[in-house]
Amino acid sequence: MIDIILGTFGQLLTPFLARKARKTYRFSKDWRFHEAVTYLTLYSYNFCWLVRTLTIKGEGGRRVRRSPAMAAGLTDHVWSMRE
């Protein structure tokens, strides 16, 4: 699962992922900040991100794009960051 997440976010969130590997950034040494960024990344991917490979055919043969949370049945719509 982690490989999928890191592969998906590898290009988009390089600065966030670099914090997990490099020890030169001061804010990376603060565990609370590291944990908060990790949760935010997982939340935004699972609830706010439409994933092309999770597309299904809906009513009338139309394609319906879904987030991982929609595919798992946790929600019925794509969330905004405010939600």
- Domain extent listing, the chain: 2-71
Q: What is the mean pLDDT of residues 18-33?
A: 62
Which residue has 């600065």 as its token pair? 15
Non-local CB neighbours of 82 within 8 Å, separated by 6+ positions:
none
Beta strands in 1-83 (DSSP E): 51-57, 63-66
**Looking at beta carbons, which pairs linking 66-73 to residues 24 or more positions away fall under 8 Å?**
none
Model confidence pLDDT, tens digit, residues 41-67? 889 988 998 888 898 888 888 898 999
Return the closest-CA partner of residue 51 out of 83, 4, 2, 3.
4
Q: What is the mean pLDDT of residues 13-24?
A: 55
**CA dist list (Å): 17 to 45, 60, 82:** 14, 41, 23
Name the pLDDT band for 77 (thresholds 50, 70, 90). very high
